[in-house]
Amino acid sequence: MTLIEWLQASGVELPGRSEAIEAGVATALTLAMLALGVVAGRRIGPRIAALVQRFAIARGDALQARICAITQHLAAALLLMTLAALWPWGRLAGVPIGLALGTSVARAGFQLLRGLGLPRWLARIFAIVCFIALFSREIGGLEPVTRLADQIGFTVGSRRFSVMLLVTMLVTVVAILAVTRVATRITEQWIGHARGLDPTQKLLAQKLASIGIVVIAFFFATDLLEIDLTSLALFSGGFGLAIGFGLQKTIGNLIAGIILLMDRSIKPGDVIALQSEIGWVNKIGVRAVSIITRDGKEHLIPNENLMTQEVENWSYSDRNVRVRIPVSIAYDNDLRLAQELMLRAANESPRVLKSPKPSVWLMSFGDYALQHEILAWISDPESGVGNVRSDVLNRLWWLFKEHGVGLPYPQRDIHIRSLPMGARHENLATSPVPDTQHRDSQNPQ
């Protein structure tokens, strides 16, 4: 008995010749639609990627590759939908069309949600739901699937939650999250290109716009999901009280961040000093301020700390910063020549400003050196202060060597009051003229 005879004897209905031909034609056309989708991804994808990079925040080669893949799958899905609507295909012919259509939409949705930053597991669940829905629609309709999903469920209080309701809620929430992410990025990009606002005002406007978009999306989602907020009034009151105590610091940091942006005391790009740490402000977030030091370390400081603690802002009203460079010279040097060389070394340093001019101060007469300070001004403190000090001192070293200016070293005067008799006779025997006093040649006293 052949396989066909065995299937017929088992009661399995085999497709006829016309159905098999129709399925073959549907398969060939499906492969052609998929090939056209690949062509569309390669030809149209880069143009769409360039347009998205113009109006979105994210950039780079990874974004272009993702957009090309989304374009390929969406183009194939549109062509397959058109193919399915042009002819009343049978159930067997709908299998290849449904498989290709469900796979294309699922892969496009997965890539889109991942590109918007949603979790991988959520994107996978959304893709699986899309595949099952589209494949079922092509091979026999969604009614049997929806009927089965509606029968499986559980009851909480007076409301029944079925699998169909949970899937609908999941798809709705994912769609609202995706739209919210897209609206937030477009709004931030639009505000970032506004010419009438400075960087701090742009950042504040972006934060407020993001909060407004999230609030609107929340109320829109509650309306779509038919959630009655009045029934949650008592619960929300207790929950809000718990949130008030538990998230007191978080809310405080949020308000402190908004105040920092409004009064513009600390802005992105400012150079600040906080507890012996010096760095430039990279980002003012909802909870903390990101500060990057010259060592490449990124510190996340809560917004409240910047509101309550003393902070040195080197670029609050003026970006010019004065650098103090201590220099000591020996007493027997030409003072005017040494000071001229100090000014020359400061003026030759590329980062030292010509206006205000650098200056040299004589600070004190030390025990064995004349204490000076070179005062030099720079306008880019975010590039570091220590490297300016090092550059000036390196130049000054070679200038001192060239002009014979000596550096001091610690010395002390030794006065010999008396010697024991044995040591005195030994000293007289070895030296005809006893050295009873040694005076430091560097010390004028």
Map 410-431 to HEC letters.
CCCCEECCCCCHHHHHHHHHHC
Cα 211 from Cα 66, distance rounded (Å) = 28
* CA distances for 324 relative to 218, 312, 348, 353, 377, angstroms: 55, 17, 16, 14, 9
Cα-to-chain-centroid distance, residue 34: 37
- Which of the two residues, 21 and 52, has the higher pLDDT score? 21
Note the pTM of the prediction, 2 decimals: 0.51
**Residues 356, 377: contact at Cβ < 8 Å?**
yes
Highest mean pLDDT among 5-19, 79-93, 184-198: 79-93
Residue type (1 letter), 183: A
Predicted pLDDT at 441:
43
Predicted pLDDT at 373:
93
**Mean pLDDT, range 269-292, rounded to an integer:** 79
Q: What is the mean pLDDT of the chain?
A: 77
CA-wise closest residue to 34 among 86, 73, 92, 3:
73
pLDDT exceeds 90 at position 397: yes
Domains of the chain, earliest start first: 18-181 (no CATH), 255-313 (2.30.30.60), 321-403 (3.30.70.100)
**Mean pLDDT, range 361-371, rounded to an integer:** 89
- The kind and range of the H/E element at 289 are strand 288-293
pLDDT exceeds 60 at position 325: yes
Cα 273 from Cα 271, distance rounded (Å) = 7
3-state secondary structure of 302: strand
pLDDT classification of 141: cutoffs 50, 70, 90: low
Q: What is the pLDDT of residues 235-258, one digit of tens each?
A: 566 666 666 666 677 777 777 777
Lowest mean pLDDT: which of 296-310, 323-337, 389-403? 296-310
**Residues 378, 388: contact at Cβ < 8 Å?**
yes
pLDDT classification of 189: cutoffs 50, 70, 90: confident
**Mean pLDDT, range 134-153, rounded to an integer:** 72
Do strands 321-329 and 312-313 pair parallel, antiparallel, or not at all (unpaired)?
A: unpaired
**Mean pLDDT, range 197-221, rounded to an integer:** 79
Which residues lie below 8 Å from residue 94, measured CB to CB, with a gap of 6+? 26, 84, 138, 139, 140
- DSSP string of 357-386, one letter each residue: PPEEEEEEE-SSSEEEEEEEEES-GGG-SH
